[in-house]
Structure 1
Amino acid sequence: MPILPMLVDRVLQPGTAGDPDGRLADDGRLVGHALRRLVAGDLAGLLDGPSTARFDPSLPMVSLDLSRVAENSPLISALMTSSSAWMESALADPDGGQRWVVYDEAWRLMAYPALPRRMDAQRRLARHYGIANMLIFHKLSDLDNVGDSGSAMRALASSLLANAETRIVYQQEPDQLGSTAAALGLSGTEQNLLPPTLGLGQGLWRVKDRSFVVQHQLHPDELAASETTARMMAVPRKFRNSEA
């Protein structure tokens, strides 16, 4: 089974038989050293061997948890690139059925140029793949942090929002109302619903040109799977700051 160290060795040392004039080694030097970081550098140990997990597209749900690498930006980029290749091979299977593709904490993924491009490609080919894409943001102003103003990356991020036919908006902080209303083209009535009319679990759904206020209901099993406030509800511990 070919693995990354083999590729790095072949790129950096293609051998005289396949590279008699040395041009292949020169052309591949930058790529080889960039990939070598995943083999012998600070990112070694995760992507440089046979996979220890099996990607099974027949499962009803597959989840990639990046919470333990949240502070390592290069590693997130590498992991998302690898997992996207897995995912796209499954999506390209004509017998793969219909799928939801959900990007939670999308604000973090938008920081890596290759990932918004993949999201955009999947959106454009959604009918071909038989998928529906969902991007989840804390606030729409997160899109302002993608690339520089007027850059191609900012335009790509904005197009992902502009081409979404269904937008679901939960209660917004007061300082986010103006930017949210402008980005989504909310009417005055819709904007007035956001604070504080919408209660817990209520969302304003914009489906093309129609609007609905929807009360979302969770099954107890769904609530247990999506609960993220357990540590907030635990009995707090006391810490004492002492001087030596």
Structure 2
Amino acid sequence: MQHDVTVGRHEEQEQEHQATLLPAPGEIGPEALRSLRHLRVPTHRATSDTVAGAYPFLAEAGLGGEGVYVGQDAWSGGGFCFDPWALYRQGVITNPNCLLAGVVGKGKSCLAKSLATRSIAFGRRVYVPGDPKGEWSAVARAVGGAAIQLGGGSANRLNPMDPGPRVGTVDDLQWATLVRIRRRTLLGSLSESALGRPLSSVEHTALDVALDEAIAESPTPTLPSVVDALLEPKSSRPGATCAELARDGRDLGHAMRRLVSGDLAGLFDGPSTIVFDPSLPMVSLDLSQIQGADQLIAMVMTCASAWMEAALAAPDGGQRWVVYDEAWRLMRQPALLARMQSQWKLCRGLGIANLLIVHRLSDLDAVGNSNSEARALARGLLADCSTKIIYQQEISEGPRTALELGLSSAEQAQLPDLQVGEGLWRVGNRAFVVRHVATENELRLFDTSSRMTVQLNGFPET
């Protein structure tokens, strides 16, 4: 009987609750403000431009909060964070490489240094294989890293043929083979840059023999020993006597001699006087004291970067940024483009995110002929950058930039109107306009131009 009474009370409470609710169609009456019939809106289709006008407050949701804080999303007003390694894990991008392009004085250098220094707090390290203007030296020292200066009376000397740290999983034969391939690739790049043309078949043979002779003299050969072996070979090969090797390698030997004597004496002409410390948060090679033509600077950057890259080849080195500032100098040398392409392809296995910094994409016009292999390599580097950051471009550069990077007409229209510190970010297939936010301490550290004195929205203005 007790159970029946309880059930009856519940039924009464449910009936009272239902009585307080309005009927589904609403109250009946002239002042009910409800329609007796459901509102049915016909389906409407329109273009994205029309819908954007009808719904003007819709914006991209962003990339999430994982990674380095960059600034503000200009379209949504929210914060914008970026981490190429996290985005790769999420499948947003296919590789961690980045392209940063923009005219002088619009803040692209400040952005690059912010990305680099802020990433250190996340356990990443930063390496600058060649800094032609010396702008990264103060930054490297400020974060507890090292800035290695070459030239200008400095006693620092690098041997680009150093083997680098050995990977513990390979045996002696595998390690010797790996180091020889690395050295031979470096010498091939230097030779073609010095000669300004590809090597002939007999020059390849002469270079192989010279490298073998230099290794026979010392486990860690130097560039002078290779040059001496080119000019005065001591051993012959089937089909090539010593006299023939000397004749075939004569032009090559004299072209490479510039790296070990004359205006570059003391830079790469002996054993290294410094040791690369991969545990430092940032290491930069300062080349600002070396003056000369683009070809000479490119050869110096090749030697310097090869010395650093030998230490970066360890797959257990962690996640690292490798910054190529003033990359237009390197892109003019076809042999160096091939080396850079190899590093671009290996970036995922090595945990490296390459950052390529240029002024404008029309610099590609200086890379070989229109249908040459060098031009194709340069375009390949751009294609292998899943993240493209474009700061303000001249109006005349807009169509070329859009063509090279595959920008839409709406994205192209943004480029001339970007202000100081603003950039169009193309991350995979998604686009953002981001206002970089820099602190006062960062601006004081990153600002290397005395002419940038007036502050505009937290950014120095030229």
Q: Aligned residues: percent identity?
A: 59
Contact 1:167 1:207 in 2 (8 A): yes
SS for the counterpart of 2:368 is coil
Question: What is the aligned partner in structure 2 of residue 226 from structure 1?
Answer: 446
Alignment coverage as a number of residue pairs? 231
- TM-score when scaled to structure 1? 0.82
Gap change, CA 1:194 and 1:121, over 3 Å in 2: same
Question: Does 2:260 correspond to 1:7?
Answer: no
Distance 1:78 1:194 in 2: 34
Question: What is the aligned partner in structure 2 of residue 239 from structure 1?
Answer: none
Distance 1:201 1:149 in 2: 33
Question: Does 2:352 correspond to 1:131?
Answer: yes
Listed as ranges, the matches of 1:65-80 within 5 Å are 65-80=286-301
Of residues 59, 84, 97, the one that matches 2:305 is 84
SS for the counterpart of 2:426 is strand
Distance 2:412 2:294 in 1: 35
Contact 2:313 2:350 in 1 (8 A): yes
Question: What is the aligned partner in structure 2 of residue 36 from structure 1?
Answer: 257
Distance 2:453 2:358 in 1: 24
Distance 1:212 1:228 in 2: 28
Gap change, CA 1:183 and 1:64, over 3 Å in 2: same
Listed as ranges, the matches of 1:26-175 within 5 Å are 26-175=247-396
SS for the counterpart of 2:270 is coil
More off after superposition, 88-97 vs 66-75: 66-75
Q: Deviations over 1:44-83 (max 9, x none)?
A: 3322133343322221111123333353334323322212
Contact 1:98 1:130 in 2 (8 A): yes
Contact 1:8 1:35 in 2 (8 A): yes
Listed as ranges, the matches of 1:170-189 within 5 Å are 170-189=391-410
SS for the counterpart of 2:286 is coil
Gap change, CA 1:210 and 1:33, over 3 Å in 2: same
Q: Which is greater in Rg?
A: 2
Distance 1:171 1:8 in 2: 46
Gap change, CA 1:140 and 1:9, over 3 Å in 2: closer
More off after superposition, 79-88 vs 151-160: 79-88
SS for the counterpart of 1:64 is strand
Distance 2:393 2:253 in 1: 47
Q: CA RMSD in A?
A: 2.5
Contact 1:43 1:75 in 2 (8 A): no
List gaps (5 residues or longer) in structure 2: 1-219, 455-462
1:162 Cα deviation (Å)? 2.0
Gap change, CA 1:115 and 1:220, over 3 Å in 2: farther
Question: Does 2:433 correspond to 1:213?
Answer: yes
Gap change, CA 1:8 and 1:186, over 3 Å in 2: closer
List gaps (5 residues or longer) in structure 1: 235-244
Q: Deviations over 1:100-157 (max 9, x none)?
A: 1111111121111222112211111111111011111111111122111111111111
Q: Which has the higher contact order (CA 8 A, sep 6+)?
A: 2
Contact 2:223 2:260 in 1 (8 A): yes
Distance 1:4 1:183 in 2: 38
Distance 2:258 2:443 in 1: 40
Question: What is the aligned partner in structure 2 of residue 203 from structure 1?
Answer: 423
